[in-house]
Amino acid sequence: MQNSTALETEANRPIIALAGNPNCGKTTLFNQLTGSNQYVGNWAGVTVEKKSGIVTVEGQKVEVIDLPGIYSLSTYTMEENVARDYIESDEPSVIVNIIDVSHLERNLFLTLQLIEMNRPMVVALNMMDVLTARGDSLDIPTLAAELGVPVVPITASRGIGTDELMRVAIAQKERPAPRCFYRTKLQTALEKLAELFGDVPCPMMHAAGYFDEGRSFVHSHSLPEENLAEMDAIIEEYMADETMDRDMVISAGKYDYIEAVIHRAVKKAPLPEISTTERIDRIVTNRVLAIPIFLLVMFTVFFVAFGPLGEWLKGVFEYLINDVVIAGVNTLLNSAGASPLVISLVVNGMLAGVGSILSFLPQIALLFLMLSILEDSGYMARAAFIMDRLLGRFGLSGKSFIPMLMGFGCTVPALMASRTLENNRDRRLTMMITPFMSCSARMPVYAIIAGIFFPKNTYLVIFSIYILGIAFSLLSAMLLSKRVLKGERSTFLLELPEYRFPVPKNLWLHTWDKVKGFVVKAGTLLLVCFVAIWFLQTFDFSLHMVENSADSIFGHIGRFIAPVFAPLGFGDWRIAMALLAGIIAKEAIVGTLGILFAAGEASIASLSVPLAAVMSPAAAYAFMVFVLLYIPCVAAIATLFKEMKNLKWTLFTLGYGLASAWVVSFIVYQIGSLI
């Protein structure tokens, strides 16, 4: 047997794969190690997000891969399959298994499976501070001797022990000795199988039902086909149990071993009657108080982002962009004798369009910061638990809440997150309603419209739009699950982590990652979009400049489709074209309104008079509802098609959203007009 694995990649760089259970601190460790040196892509041939980064250890650059969280190598979802397949491949130089020591028994099950894979491996004992705070103690040398692999204690949230972990990891070239963690008749079966297969990675695991009942193992090791029958006979003789199938026998054997190891290595302090986490959960997850508390928490998020603080920061950004940058460039171009066409392109097309989007940067940053605080503290897991009962009444799995929640950030990763649902019916239903969540790209539209028509209650109006999105998605789920996607929803299992103070570095990285994506989008896709919009509203079909934009290419197209929106209260051709541009990117709606209504300046002050002339407050609210529900951006449409893997269901989802947007906006406008 080969006793080492190639530590060098083609780029002469070791690869360390981080593997562990969900909520074990794996991503916290990844952020501590890589900082801002992270990049995100997709796994080869799979649309599952791949997160990797570079860290320098003793002068050597090392690539670190953050694998999706898994509880065992018996996988069900696409993300779990990706993690398992990568662990089994020859690509990673070392597997670093992160263990939450506060839940040692559950975490060690995956550890034993990974050791059986016979790959160079290091165990990182995370959250040692939690163990110490509880008064427990862990005999690390004893645990390392039992497992047969290096064990390093760390506290990832504070960066304690992470440098030592990396030094041990890149030095770990030896494979663990082939072994399985069973006793009595399981051990006897192992010995028999070892005689049959020879010195190869633990055949017990393969015989237990993994990898097509061991057949692929037999073939991959060029073993005779008759070995399969002999293997089955050994399993039946030594592992038969009337109450358990093979997988259950294997799992029971592992947990027997884990229990014995914990008994030898861990000394537990007397448990308090009730922990701090349990005290908080008695209130936060209370059957009566849970939903009101959740709504109060979300209201607080929006009050911080869109209330006085967010509005003040937005005002500062607007001043810097409009009165300093744009005005300065305008003066500079005029002083240089630039032609009116060039000035119009640069000032009214490029700078004003991008500037109108960037002015919302403070509010977007505040929104993502607040959501990151909720996630890092452990509350978001409670929110999913709370919503499971409610979602169940509408035909959804509690796991659907995670993609729906991610939809507040961006629809694209939210659709991708639906892979965590095992049931194809649940996955498809979740993808159909996720676009109704208000992504951050829609937020500038709400802020502009609500700021103009509802200046005294801006954050309340925006909050109501977000709640309307949730309510409509639930009603849609109930309708679709009864009429279109019938079937039973899958069981929802969720681990509730202990409450923790958010780590400032993690908050910064999470927020910066989202803000950076927003800025890059504004400077690339949206910049091109605004230039195109400027061109289409400046020239006619003969490519002659027009004095009145109504005579432009945009004007002709807009007047053709505007009657569709007249019953909704916003039948102006400029608004119709803004909605059309919003299919490219929802932020483009604001820039288009600025270009068409206010000579390039998209701010509340510049748009309040021209928009008030063509829309009533009832029409303005109906407009926000339409933006909430109609077709998502092209990136989301492409992702929807990839994830659905079915053109019919993709078109149905888009058609349902568009029809819903028109009908609901019509109802809102008609009722609002009466009020």
DSSP-derived secondary structure for 73-90: SS--SHHHHHHHHHHHSS
In the structure encoding, which two tokens stand for residue 644, read together? 């659905």
CA separation for the pair 596, 581 (Å, rounded): 12
> Which residues are within 8 A (CB) of 333 and not within 5 positions of it... i.e. 6 or more apart?
342, 343, 346, 347
pLDDT, one tens digit per residue, over 195-209 is: 665 544 444 444 443
Please give the pLDDT value at position 8. 40
Taking 80 as the threshold, does the pLDDT of residue 177 lie above it?
A: no
Please give the pLDDT value at position 422. 65
In the structure encoding, which two tokens stand for residue 607, read together? 């748009």
CA distances (Å), 328 to each of 174, 351, 471, in order? 63, 11, 46
Sign of CA dihedral 320, 322, 324, 325: positive
pLDDT, one tens digit per residue, over 285-316 is: 888 888 889 888 888 887 887 778 887 888 88
Please give the pLDDT value at position 215. 40
Please give the pLDDT value at position 628. 94
Query: By the 8 A CB rule, do 401 and 388 touch?
Result: yes
Taking 50 as the threshold, does the pLDDT of residue 583 lie above it?
A: yes
pLDDT, one tens digit per residue, over 321-335 is: 878 888 888 888 888
CA distance from start to end of the chain: 80
Each residue of 210-220: b (16+ CB within 10 Å) or e?
bbebbeebbee
Query: By the 8 A CB rule, do 227 and 213 touch?
Result: no
- Mean local confidence (pLDDT), 77-96: 80
HSE-CB of 674 using CA atoms within 13 angstroms = 5
Instruction: Report phi then psi at 665, rounded to 5.
Output: -65, -40
Instruction: Report phi then psi at 178, rounded to 5.
Output: -60, 125
Phi-psi label, residue 244: left if phi above 0, alpha if psi -120 to 50, beta otherwise: beta
Taking 80 as the threshold, does the pLDDT of residue 508 lie above it?
A: yes
**Parts of the chain belonging to CATH 3.40.50.300:** 15-171
In the structure encoding, which two tokens stand for residue 279, read together? 């005290």
Taking 50 as the threshold, does the pLDDT of residue 42 lie above it?
A: no
Taking 70 as the threshold, does the pLDDT of residue 184 lie above it?
A: no
Each residue of 267-288: b (16+ CB within 10 Å) or e?
eeeeeeeeeeeeeebeebbeee
Taking 80 as the threshold, does the pLDDT of residue 191 lie above it?
A: no
Taking 70 as the threshold, does the pLDDT of residue 543 lie above it?
A: yes
pLDDT band per the 50, 70, 90 thresholds, residue 166:
very high
Would the pTM of this model clear 0.85, i.e. be above it? Answer: no
Mean pLDDT of the chain: 79
Q: Considering only residues 226 and 310, tell me which one the structure prediction assigns the higher pLDDT.
A: 310
Q: What share of the chain is helix, strand, coil (3-state, %, to 5)?
A: 65, 10, 25
Taking 60 as the threshold, does the pLDDT of residue 213 lie above it?
A: no
Instruction: Report phi then psi at 74, rounded to 5.
Output: -85, 100
pLDDT, one tens digit per residue, over 611-660 is: 889 999 999 999 999 999 998 888 888 888 888 888 898 999 999 999 99
pLDDT band per the 50, 70, 90 thresholds, residue 21:
confident
Matching residue, tokens 């006619």: 540
Taking 50 as the threshold, does the pLDDT of residue 212 lie above it?
A: no
Please give the pLDDT value at position 623. 96
CA separation for the pair 96, 74 (Å, rounded): 19
Share of the chain above pLDDT 70, in %: 80
Please give the pLDDT value at position 47. 43
Please give the pLDDT value at position 46. 44
Taking 90 as the threshold, does the pLDDT of residue 124 lie above it?
A: yes
- Mean local confidence (pLDDT), 497-522: 78
Q: Considering only residues 560 and 548, tell me which one the structure prediction assigns the higher pLDDT.
A: 560
CATH of 15-171, one of 3.40.1280.10, 3.20.20.70, 2.60.40.180, 3.40.50.300: 3.40.50.300
CA separation for the pair 165, 64 (Å, rounded): 13
Please give the pLDDT value at position 420. 66
Q: Considering only residues 319 and 522, tell me which one the structure prediction assigns the higher pLDDT.
A: 319
Please give the pLDDT value at position 182. 56
